[in-house]
Structure 1
Amino acid sequence: MDYNKVFWLLILQFLIIVCSSGIRLIQEYIDKHTEIKIDYNIQKIISNKTSSVPLAYFDMPEFYDHLNRIQGSVGNRFLAPIKNSFQIGQATIRLISYLAFLLTIHWSLLLLSVAAAIPLFIIQKKYGKRRFLLLYNQTPKAREGQYITSLLTNRESAKEIRLFQLGGYLLDRWSKTYFENARESLRLLRRNQMSNLGLEMFSGLLLTCSAGIIVWFTRSSTVRIGDFVVISQAVQGTQTSINQISSLVAQIYEESLYIQDFYKFIQFKVPILERSSQSEYPFPTPLQSGITFDNVAFRYTGSFTDSISEINFFIRAGEKIAIVGENGSGKTTLIKCLMGLYPVSSGRIYFDGINIEEIKEQDLRKNITVVFQDFMRYSFSVRDNIAFGNVERYGDIEEIKKVASKTGVDKFVKHFSKGYDTYLGKYLINGEDLSGGQWQKIALARLLFRGGEVIILDEPTASLDPRAEIELFKQFHTLTKDKTTIFISHRMAAAKMADRILVMKEGRLVEIGTHKELMENGQEYYRLYQLQSHWYSDNNISQQEVIGWMK
């Protein structure tokens, strides 16, 4: 025996094994690396979409459902068809060799081997589509379950859940939703498994028929027992390759449904809510004439009534306006239309005679600044919370400190060991907790850091008592001395500081004038003021104090 030759053959075998393992590991790394990159890019596309769509989309449950469906393992869904295509190629090469061999034996063996592929593909495709439709239909219930989970694990909701002892009820409600979805998934899986069992039986029958034909060959020809084993393995290998190809093609079809759903989300558009693509004018800076509402109306998608309608008024540049009215009167909706967050259903809004639809969206965002009632409390540093007003000037710490001084933020920040680098809240790290009033000062500082031609304060003081609210509006009035400013409240006393007052009721502008004029008219404003007069006496706020603040 040539031991030297055997030795080199063993070395070659070892090298083949090592190379095979190395290639497999490299392929796994490349696959994972590619999946991560795809996942990053897809998530970035989704985030760009959600951050750029009209705000009105977030009032549409179907938009949330669609967003929920396309999140999670997105990169793997995009990569799977490519990986499956390579596996189909490998299986096809094996299949061709098997088929060529069987064709030299007898055409019936080839036919029996191929026959199982057709029902397998049909069943796999059918249940692939059903799995997608199940996910599609379960999305609303799944979102409810996720929402309940967030309530049970969220710091903001923890106090009230304990106060009202809601933990048990919410947990039971989550369990009901969870098991309802689980039962539907298991029902589909059970049906799929029964179909697969039928396919296995059918494949087994075909394999048995093939074995019978081969046995017949052994009796009627010179086929030996060794040939019988080879032919049987070829038949089984053919069926395995065909079944693998059918399954992979069905998987590609199923993944394509998810990918199509992703592209539908990216292309998701409600024409009546989209801004005109002809926006080309810069925002008029500084504002010379003012803001005009010309018979403006807005209706939420799916609603049968207008939230605001027949709104007509003019705000002079530099004027201080208060918008008042009861909750639900349309004040915030009007402001969102003014900001271009909601495209008006009818009518026009003009800035110095330029239609809002023709103003560049970026310019519009830059020049209209607002603090909403539900303003954000970012779990980042004090510096971040203020600088987020204008991230292009993030490094301007002197301006950050300047607006902090104007709004009173510096009075409590100076007691923090890390100053403006102190994190707020307990969500990310063990940071500093702020009171409601301190958070409002932070929000006001963010507004001032943003700047802009039109500045709006939209009921961020709803949780404050009337005295604190008036003091905040007084500060706001002073800080925005040279700006066109609008402050919104359902309380009347603070409105006295405005040059004019707009009174909203049931989505309509019912009165406009100064405090004195509206009180003399004795209509809606007078009624609201009289209803709230006890607030000011209870808090020892005198008429003389308000007049003094106005001065």
Structure 2
Amino acid sequence: MSLHYAKRSLNFFWEHSKKWLATSVILTIFKGVAPIISLWLTKELINSITSNLQTNNSDYMQVFLLLCAQFLLSIIVASLQKIQQYMDRHEITKLSLKLNQLYLRKTTTVPLNAFDDPELHNYVNRLQGDKGESFLSPYQDLLEVCKSVITIFSFLIFLLSFHWALFILSIISALPIYFVQSKFGNKKFELIKSQTTNLREMNYINYLLSDRHSAKEIRIYELGAYFINRWSSIFSMNAVRRLNLFRKQQISEVGAEGVTSLLYMLSALIIIWLASETTIQIGDFVAIGQAVQGTQNMINQAAFSLARIYEKSLYIKDYFEFIDFEFGNNDLVPRVEEFPIPLKKGIRFRNVTFRYSNNTKVILNDISFSIRHGEKIAIVGENGSGKSTLVKCLMGLYPITSGKIYFDNVDAELITHASLRKNITAIFQDFSKYPFSVKDNIVFGDIERATDTFLIKKVACATGVDEFVGKFENGYETILGNFLEKGEDLSGGQWQKIALSRALYRDCQILILDEPTAALDPKSEKDVYMGFEKIAKNKTTIFITHRMSTARLADRIFVMKNGRIIEEGSHDELMLLEKEYYRMYKMQTHWYSSNKVF
């Protein structure tokens, strides 16, 4: 982990986990010295029993006291372990809340065009799982290392009191394990990172095979077996790579453990030599063996914890990289201006060009126009002509590549996002269907006015929602869909009326409708727009439509083609030109009047 992200991690941890750290350090110190205390008690217990047996001494009070001390120590250690586990779980829960809040704020504030960047989806996929546990894990391992170091140091001092060679051999024996764990910890993370795209595809296929909306096509086109085979192929390919890495790690660990065993054998020979050359008691002999083995185990455990710290620190680095990453953020100057209230002159585009990042294809090409405040504008054109992109740039969802957008005389790039969102609302063709109540689905348009029942009723009547909601037993409290609980399953047209109500519920100056009535028949669509016109009076309205009959309701019509506005005017004016709009209108008139579909 770089120094920058190490500081970010430490600052965040210190801000939120000081109490956990202070208490854990105290517990760690005690748990670190507990093994040497236990070893000393064992040594004294064996020596006491041996002495009593050799001298036929029947006074076993010292033995009893040592057994009581061992029992008390084991109870204390077990209790501290449970306390630590509870503290860890509590801290993980708290950190998960903070980290997920920060993560979700990031995902909800990145520019809309960031979702066209695969790197965003790679980050999101890699950061799945319990963030609190992943974040706390390195600090838990660091405390484990500290505990091991305390235990190792006490064991080494004990061994050094018998022979310096035992001290040296115990330290050297852990180095191979440490190097193996460090090496493969890095390789495992890099493997996971390289497989992110494949894992995303697997998750998507899993979603397709279990999603209600895709279930129809999966069955009609008999795609189930194909997608299962595709998922299985990716799974097998990823599994082979993971197993190969695991196999290499196991081979390396066998070699490292072989070196450790050899060094332990040398230590055992030294212990035997000490027993033959010096007068040591049986308890001392047993304690030396346990100390050597305990030292090696603790060093191995410390090595494993250090390797895991490195592995988990890569996750933390990934997390803060995502939080800091500027996904297509073009805000080169601070946004300090407020949206003009009320809007007087209207909207002005000046030589606006847009292309996606890392893409040379121009989506909007040098567009200029003006819209008067209160004017109703229809935008028509073939698919891919740039209609939806234009309104997304207007709303600030896409940062324009060049040119300027003005509201009155205020540069849109200087207006705060909050002020911009407050004064412009939209409903798109792919609107969200929230599995909550009818009321919730409407008031989500302006959650700050969630209790305005009069306005809820007003917009619902204007869009036709009130007609079918009135038939529901629970009225506006009726749950929609069956995703979270049993509710009313609406038709596509009814859902579109709900979404339209949500857009109208927001008290804003500019309303944008990007083909929200595509699922309605022409008559129902016209009725909705007539109702919409009443409630949206004195507001600037822009609506995208493929139906020329709907476009006639607008004051002016923009005709788009290949990222440009090629015609502009009222319905009658454009019909007189007999160009693109005329061609499109006549084509649809022919469709509606013809008895043949093809």
Band of TM-score, shorter chain: over 0.9
**Other-structure match for 1:429:** 485
Secondary structure (helix, strand or coil) at the match of 1:457 reads strand
In structure 2, how many angstroms separate the alpha carbons of the residues matched to 1:194 and 1:6?
46
Q: Is the contact between residue 54 and residue 274 of structure 1 (CA under 8 Å) also seen in structure 2?
A: no
Describe the superposition over 1:59-109 as per-residue Cα deviations: whole angstroms up to 9, x where unpaired.
111101111101202111111122222222221121112212332333332
1:268 and 1:189, CA in 2 relative to 1: closer, same or farther beyond 3 A?
Answer: same
**Other-structure match for 1:66:** 123
**Other-structure match for 2:334:** 278
Q: Is the contact between residue 327 and residue 490 of structure 1 (CA under 8 Å) also seen in structure 2?
A: no
Residue identity in the other structure for 2:92:
E
Q: Is the contact between residue 462 and residue 532 of structure 2 (CA under 8 Å) also seen in structure 1?
A: no
2:198 is the alignment partner of 1:141:
yes
2:540 is the alignment partner of 1:498:
no
**Other-structure match for 1:24:** 81
Pairwise CA distance, 1:368: 0.5
1:3 and 1:225, CA in 2 relative to 1: closer, same or farther beyond 3 A?
Answer: closer
**Other-structure match for 2:251:** 194
**Other-structure match for 1:181:** 238
In structure 2, how many angstroms separate the alpha carbons of the residues matched to 1:128 and 1:58?
31
Secondary structure (helix, strand or coil) at the match of 2:397 reads coil
Pairwise CA distance, 1:198: 0.8
Between 1:482-491 and 1:469-478, the stretch displaced more is 469-478
2:408 is the alignment partner of 1:362:
no
Residue identity in the other structure for 2:224:
G
Q: Is the contact between residue 329 and residue 507 of structure 1 (CA under 8 Å) also seen in structure 2?
A: yes
In structure 2, how many angstroms separate the alpha carbons of the residues matched to 1:9 and 1:227?
16
Q: Is the contact between residue 459 and residue 535 of structure 2 (CA under 8 Å) also seen in structure 1?
A: no
In structure 1, how many angstroms separate the alpha carbons of the residues matched to 2:458 and 2:59?
90
Partner residue of 1:259 out of 291, 302, 316: 316
Residue identity in the other structure for 1:206:
L
Secondary structure (helix, strand or coil) at the match of 2:405 reads strand
Residue identity in the other structure for 1:291:
I
Report 1:80-99 matches (<5 A): 80-99=137-156
Secondary structure (helix, strand or coil) at the match of 1:32 reads helix
Residue identity in the other structure for 2:185:
G
Between 1:173-182 and 1:371-380, the stretch displaced more is 173-182
**Other-structure match for 1:206:** 263
Partner residue of 1:404 out of 442, 456, 460: 460
1:276 and 1:397, CA in 2 relative to 1: closer, same or farther beyond 3 A?
Answer: farther
Secondary structure (helix, strand or coil) at the match of 1:451 reads coil
Secondary structure (helix, strand or coil) at the match of 2:135 reads helix
**Other-structure match for 1:350:** 406
In structure 2, how many angstroms separate the alpha carbons of the residues matched to 1:527 and 1:406?
33
Secondary structure (helix, strand or coil) at the match of 2:161 reads helix
2:166 is the alignment partner of 1:109:
yes
**Other-structure match for 1:443:** 499
Secondary structure (helix, strand or coil) at the match of 2:367 reads strand
**Other-structure match for 2:27:** none
In structure 2, how many angstroms separate the alpha carbons of the residues matched to 1:182 and 1:470?
56
Partner residue of 2:207 out of 126, 130, 150: 150
Report 1:456-495 matches (<5 A): 456-495=512-551
Q: Is the contact between residue 218 and residue 225 of structure 1 (CA under 8 Å) also seen in structure 2?
A: no
1:236 and 1:6, CA in 2 relative to 1: closer, same or farther beyond 3 A?
Answer: closer
2:574 is the alignment partner of 1:518:
yes
Q: Is the contact between residue 466 and residue 536 of structure 1 (CA under 8 Å) also seen in structure 2?
A: no
Counting matched residue pairs gives: 539
Secondary structure (helix, strand or coil) at the match of 1:30 reads helix
Between 1:226-235 and 1:24-33, the stretch displaced more is 226-235
Partner residue of 1:172 out of 229, 238, 241: 229
Between the aligned residues of both structures, percent identity stands at 50
Pairwise CA distance, 1:43: 1.1
Partner residue of 1:121 out of 160, 178, 181: 178
Pairwise CA distance, 1:227: 4.9
Pairwise CA distance, 1:462: 2.6
In structure 2, how many angstroms separate the alpha carbons of the residues matched to 1:366 and 1:494?
27
In structure 2, how many angstroms separate the alpha carbons of the residues matched to 1:35 and 1:258?
15
In structure 2, how many angstroms separate the alpha carbons of the residues matched to 1:180 and 1:296?
46
Pairwise CA distance, 1:128: 0.6
**Other-structure match for 1:507:** 563
Pairwise CA distance, 1:331: 0.3
In structure 2, how many angstroms separate the alpha carbons of the residues matched to 1:27 and 1:223?
39
1:481 and 1:178, CA in 2 relative to 1: closer, same or farther beyond 3 A?
Answer: same
Describe the superposition over 1:91-139 as per-residue Cα deviations: whole angstroms up to 9, x where unpaired.
1121112212332333332222211322222211111111111111111
**Other-structure match for 1:376:** 432
In structure 2, how many angstroms separate the alpha carbons of the residues matched to 1:53 and 1:392?
23
Partner residue of 1:306 out of 320, 341, 362: 362
Pairwise CA distance, 1:527: 2.2
In structure 2, how many angstroms separate the alpha carbons of the residues matched to 1:18 and 1:226?
23
Between 1:88-97 and 1:469-478, the stretch displaced more is 469-478
Secondary structure (helix, strand or coil) at the match of 2:253 reads helix
Pairwise CA distance, 1:284: 1.0
Q: Is the contact between residue 273 and residue 342 of structure 1 (CA under 8 Å) also seen in structure 2?
A: no
Residue identity in the other structure for 1:62:
E
Q: Is the contact between residue 377 and residue 543 of structure 2 (CA under 8 Å) also seen in structure 1?
A: yes
Secondary structure (helix, strand or coil) at the match of 2:483 reads coil
**Other-structure match for 2:9:** none
1:226 and 1:411, CA in 2 relative to 1: closer, same or farther beyond 3 A?
Answer: closer
Describe the superposition over 1:272-325 as per-residue Cα deviations: whole angstroms up to 9, x where unpaired.
533355211211112100100000011112211111111100000111101110
Between 1:229-238 and 1:417-426, the stretch displaced more is 229-238
Partner residue of 1:230 out of 263, 287, 290: 287
Pairwise CA distance, 1:525: 1.6
In structure 1, how many angstroms separate the alpha carbons of the residues matched to 2:160 and 2:397?
69
**Other-structure match for 2:394:** 338
Q: Is the contact between residue 515 and residue 543 of structure 2 (CA under 8 Å) also seen in structure 1?
A: yes
Residue identity in the other structure for 2:196:
T
Secondary structure (helix, strand or coil) at the match of 1:371 reads strand
Q: Is the contact between residue 463 and residue 528 of structure 2 (CA under 8 Å) also seen in structure 1?
A: no
Secondary structure (helix, strand or coil) at the match of 1:318 reads coil
Root mean square deviation, CA, Å? 2.3
Secondary structure (helix, strand or coil) at the match of 2:552 reads helix
In structure 2, how many angstroms separate the alpha carbons of the residues matched to 1:204 and 1:93?
23
Q: Is the contact between residue 441 and residue 498 of structure 2 (CA under 8 Å) also seen in structure 1?
A: yes
Residue identity in the other structure for 1:449:
Y
Q: Is the contact between residue 276 and residue 358 of structure 1 (CA under 8 Å) also seen in structure 2?
A: no
2:348 is the alignment partner of 1:287:
no
Pairwise CA distance, 1:219: 5.0
Between 1:84-93 and 1:19-28, the stretch displaced more is 19-28
Unaligned 5+ segments in structure 2 are 1-57
The TM-score with structure 1 as length reference comes to: 0.93
**Other-structure match for 1:47:** 104
In structure 1, how many angstroms separate the alpha carbons of the residues matched to 2:64 and 2:429?
81
Describe the superposition over 1:391-439 as per-residue Cα deviations: whole angstroms up to 9, x where unpaired.
0011222221221122221111111111111000111111001112211
Between 1:199-208 and 1:79-88, the stretch displaced more is 79-88
**Other-structure match for 1:246:** 303
Residue identity in the other structure for 2:508:
G
Secondary structure (helix, strand or coil) at the match of 1:312 reads strand
Secondary structure (helix, strand or coil) at the match of 1:33 reads helix
Unaligned 5+ segments in structure 1 are 540-551
